[in-house]
Structure 1
């Protein structure tokens, strides 16, 4: 189940990469790609959430890189990439 989490990052990134190769004059096509990838993201996350809930909502954690590991705690790279930008976004708006 953890393996599917990576696809939710790839959908918008793939749409972004495709849009880079289109000329600026094709705004309608760029818009369709953007909305299409966001729609795929929505459908994918919705289906994944339902599946996750039916499986009993197990803990999901991708261990990409461990920055600090002690006997009682492991600080992962994913913690830095998610929690720090979230903190910055929340602190800038409040």
Structure 2
């Protein structure tokens, strides 16, 4: 993942805010998940003018970037193991 990916997600968040977001909606969150051979990356994109993000506004539990990264790695490992078994 690079700055271009983050910039693209920010663009999508802005577009959603302009076209779909209602006045009483919570700030829009963009989620970038990237799984490559050497790493798994998870990033949130929040354009809420520096406002603090409160998970309770969205879900009973909003995972951290580290938890999402670990889940990506776990899923990638499961897929790799399944490919080995099927070969």
Q: Report the TM-score when normalising by structure 1.
A: 0.30
Q: Report the TM-score when normalising by structure 2.
A: 0.32
Rg: which structure is higher? 1
Structure with larger RCO (C-alpha < 8 A, sep 6+)? 2
Name the structure with the higher strand share: 2
